[in-house]
Amino acid sequence: MDEYLTTFREMISLRGLTDHTIKSYTTYIKAYLEYLQHTLQKSPDEVTWQELREFVLFLKQQRQLSDRTMNSCISQLRFFTLYVLHKPWDPYQLPMRKFDSYLPYAPSREEVWSFISTIENLKLKTMVALMYSAGLRVGEACRLTYPDIRRKEMRIYISKGKNRTDRYAILSEKALGMLTEYWYQYDKPIGCLFSQPRNQEKPIDAQTVSRMFNKHRELHGFNPRITCHSMRHAFGTHLYENGTDILTLKALLGHKSLHSTTIYVSLASNGVGRANSPFDEMGDMCDE
């Protein structure tokens, strides 16, 4: 089965996807190939639609996957069928799953300040401050370099974000002060700002930062819904509450679609929750 996995990785690479995406896309294809080898004892070319559906149900039951994750798995199987096996894909044989949408958690200003102010590790503290103050994804914070910090313009250059587009983010004065302190204490890095402990040339891994973040959260008993990404949600929510228009917010967050940005209208305290029902504006009409 190794040759199928190798071809799959090659085809993903040809699409120009990032290493993180390639790793993510490979996860369920590896599980699929192992299932074929040890359970069905079949080649991928011999698998029927029924057997493909059985694998998807098997994976959901074994790993307790969410419907969103199941759709990711189905997408990978589709890519594998089209670009590795060179066979047509029939969406009526293996349809995408419906899933519920939930509002993300956005910590309050007080929660954000309490969380950041209690971090003792200066590297983590600076990174979390940047994630909140500029609305950065954890991976974007990890990849920051010294030239990305535009002090004169008070903005941060974000290269190739999630949607493979560049953008500028806000550089907070408070965050800049923390970043300056960090820079002096960590030997004035002129390349990668937040490097790996044993390799100054490579950025720190996002999973490492998330583990440090979660450890701090658990140690101090913060809300378990507070994550690295919720700091980005807090940025968007608080910025909208401050009066920032939705298009500016979209640009600052680097969203591809305005639909992704409108979620902060629901999260903000002055968003949909502050809208008045027209029924309450009828006065005494209802009593007549």
pLDDT > 70? residue 273: no
Q: In the structure, what pLDDT confidence band is assigned to residue 174 with cuts at 50, 70 and 90?
A: very high
**Is 232 in the same domain as 137?**
yes
pLDDT > 80? residue 280: no
- CA–CA distance, 39 with 42 (Å, rounded to integer): 8
**Is 203 in the same domain as 133?**
yes
| 255 occurs within a structural domain | yes
Confidence at residue 261, expressed as pLDDT on a 0 to 100 scale: 92
pLDDT tens by residue, 229-261: 999 999 999 999 999 999 999 999 999 889 889
What token pair was written down for 251?
A: 């640009």
Percentage of the residues of the chain whose pLDDT score is greater than 90: 67
**Is 114 in the same domain as 42?**
no
CA dihedral 71, 73, 77, 79 (to 10 degrees): 70
Confidence at residue 127, expressed as pLDDT on a 0 to 100 scale: 97
- CA–CA distance, 141 with 203 (Å, rounded to integer): 9
Angle at 148 between CA 147 and CA 154, to 5 degrees: 110
Number of domains observed in the structure of the chain: 2
Confidence at residue 168, expressed as pLDDT on a 0 to 100 scale: 95
Q: What is the pTM of this model?
A: 0.77
Exposed/middle/buried for 228, CB within 10 Å: 0-12, 13-18, 19+? Answer: buried
Helices 246-253 and 228-241 cross at an angle (nearest 10°) of: 160
**Is 119 in the same domain as 219?**
yes
Q: What is the mean pLDDT of residues 140-161?
A: 93
- CA–CA distance, 103 with 162 (Å, rounded to integer): 20
Q: In the structure, what pLDDT confidence band is assigned to residue 125 with cuts at 50, 70 and 90?
A: very high
CATH number of the domain encompassing residue 203? 1.10.443.10
Lowest mean pLDDT among 74-88, 216-230, 268-282: 268-282
Q: What is the mean pLDDT of residues 67-91?
A: 92
Lowest mean pLDDT among 12-16, 182-186, 219-223: 12-16
pLDDT > 80? residue 264: yes
| 261 occurs within a structural domain | yes
What residue numbers bound the domain in which 138 lies? Answer: 109-272
Helices 109-117 and 228-241 cross at an angle (nearest 10°) of: 140
**Is 198 in the same domain as 243?**
yes
- Rounded to the nearest integer, the mean pLDDT of the chain is 90
pLDDT > 80? residue 21: no
Confidence at residue 59, expressed as pLDDT on a 0 to 100 scale: 87
